[in-house]
């Protein structure tokens, strides 16, 4: 399927007349889940639109309180503290997300693995701290998503050995974006954008025009992009080695940990995944860092609902099969091409 048609761009229509009193309402908030949250929506009434944004942010704060490993009272922190002792009953929300996380571990050949935290907790990117080889070797056997035992009949989680830790940082932001969109849809909003760091999801269009999402150049500052993608009714996640990192001795230590080695995964510079839900795109966007561009692209190309753009270590760009077809095909008369990077 042509990529543009897949994401609803092949049948764009001329802009309709806009209601006189309605307007776009946008808010940018820092600090939730340790990242920048952006919410923009089309509201018939501005005050109601602001309340809807409040509801989205409240939902994201709830997810942060539940799933942050930086909060000792969070449910995930409690799991890390006690799940090795025996089966532990957890909320349905967390249980379902753990099931989803294990699914992404399976389809990425273990490249996505929430138990990376068994080593990952020893990194502190703000203080430029990383574990030494002895520490990694000792903790590495605890990294294996199969150590997370889930019992759907009793809604429990258990770790199969001591030393196992989980961190949902590789999927929770995407999940929070999907939850934010769900909040807006329940309130009746049909045109909106919700973003959390590198994870975003869009519903609807901008009255005959697509939303334009930029893909950051991984070796330049914020605001520099390698491409701008026109999207509607889609999610997009970009993972890069520039998000949380420090350089030491010619090595870049960053937050995407290779579960096979316990070191920062460094086989690409960035990976962007486009799909129907941000939970899915977030969970899949780290794969290329661990497996490399070729093996990761094989996985992306097997998934009919996924497109991907990978920036390799040499700065060249690889595209999934549907994007390649879209780039080769002449643009349709009613489908505008993506604006060039600036």
Asked if 97 contacts 177 with a C-beta cutoff of 8 angstroms, the reply is no
Residue 339, pLDDT > 50, answer: no
Residue 12, pLDDT > 50, answer: no
Query: Residue 318's pLDDT band (boundaries 50, 70, 90)?
Result: very high
Query: Residue 14's pLDDT band (boundaries 50, 70, 90)?
Result: very low
Taken as a whole, the chain contains a residue count of 342
Structure confidence by residue, pLDDT tens digits, 270-282: 999 999 999 999 9
Residue 71, pLDDT > 90, answer: yes
Which of 8-22, 100-114, 249-263, 266-280 shows the lowest mean pLDDT across its residues? 8-22
The three state secondary structure string of 173-226 is HHHHHHHHHHHHHHCCCCCEEEEECCEEEEECCCCCCCEEEEEECCCCCCCCEE
Structure confidence by residue, pLDDT tens digits, 34-53: 999 999 999 999 999 999 99
pLDDT, residue 329, reads 72
Query: Residue 168's pLDDT band (boundaries 50, 70, 90)?
Result: very high
3-9+22-65+170-328 and 68-159 in the same fold: no
Which of 133-137, 223-227, 285-289 shows the lowest mean pLDDT across its residues? 223-227
Mean pLDDT confidence for 101-117 = 96
Q: What is the mean pLDDT of the chain?
A: 90
pLDDT, residue 255, reads 86
Query: Residue 335's pLDDT band (boundaries 50, 70, 90)?
Result: very low
pLDDT, residue 204, reads 97
Of 124, 175, 148, 146, nearest in space to 278 by CA: 175
Domain boundaries, the chain: 3-9+22-65+170-328, 68-159
Give the pair of three-digit tokens for residue 117.
Answer: 């935290």
pLDDT, residue 195, reads 97
CATH of 3-9+22-65+170-328 among 1.10.1740.10, 3.30.565.10, 3.10.520.10, 3.30.200.20: 3.10.520.10
Of 181, 174, 170, 180, nearest in space to 204 by CA: 181
DSSP per residue over 103-150, as a string? HHHHHTTTSS-GGGHHHHTT-BTTTTB---HHHHHHHGGG--GGGEEE
CA–CA–CA angle 66, 67, 72 (5° rounding):
80
SS3 284: helix
* CA 209 centroid distance within chain: 25
Residue 20, pLDDT > 60, answer: no
Residue 320, pLDDT > 50, answer: yes
pLDDT, residue 9, reads 47
User: What kind of fold does domain 68-159 have according to CATH?
Assistant: T-fold (1.10.3980)
DSSP per residue over 138-153, as a string? HHGGG--GGGEEEETT
Residue 212: how many other CB atoms lie within 10 Å: 13
pLDDT, residue 102, reads 97
């Amino acid at each position: 399927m042509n990529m543009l048609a897949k994401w609803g761009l092949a049948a764009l229509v001329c802009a309709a007349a806009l209601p006189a009193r309605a307007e776009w309402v946008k808010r940018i908030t820092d600090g939730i889940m340790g990242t920048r949250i952006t919410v923009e929506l089309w509201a018939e009434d501005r005050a109601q639109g602001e309340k809807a944004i409040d509801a989205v942010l409240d939902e994201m704060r709830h997810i942060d309180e539940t799933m942050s490993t930086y909060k000792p009272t969070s449910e995930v922190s409690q799991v890390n503290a006690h799940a090795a002792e025996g089966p532990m009953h957890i909320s349905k929300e967390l249980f379902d997300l753990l099931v989803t996380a294990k699914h992404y571990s399976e389809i990425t050949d273990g490249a996505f693995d929430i138990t990376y935290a068994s080593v990952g907790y020893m990194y502190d990117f703000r203080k430029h701290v990383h574990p030494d080889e002895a520490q990694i070797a000792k903790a590495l056997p605890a990294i294996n998503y199969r150590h997370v035992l889930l019992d759907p009949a009793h809604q429990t989680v258990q770790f199969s050995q001591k030393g196992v830790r989980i961190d949902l940082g590789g999927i929770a932001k995407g999940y929070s974006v999907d939850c934010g969109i769900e909040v807006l849809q329940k309130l009746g909003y049909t045109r909106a954008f919700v973003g959390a760091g590198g994870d975003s999801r869009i519903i609807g269009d901008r009255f005959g025009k697509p939303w334009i999402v930029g893909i950051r150049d991984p070796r330049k500052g914020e605001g520099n992009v390698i491409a701008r993608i026109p999207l509607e009714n889609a999610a997009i996640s970009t993972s890069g080695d520039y998000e949380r990192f420090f350089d030491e001795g010619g090595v870049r230590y960053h937050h995407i940990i290779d579960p096979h080695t316990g070191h920062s995964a460094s086989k690409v510079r960035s990976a962007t995944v486009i799909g129907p839900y941000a939970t899915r795109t977030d969970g899949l966007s780290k794969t290329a860092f661990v497996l490399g561009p070729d093996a990761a692209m094989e996985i992306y190309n097997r998934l009919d609902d996924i497109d991907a753009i990978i920036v390799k270590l040499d700065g060249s760009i690889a595209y999934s099969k549907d994007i390649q077809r879209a780039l080769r095909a002449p643009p349709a008369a009613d489908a505008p091409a993506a604006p060039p990077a600036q």
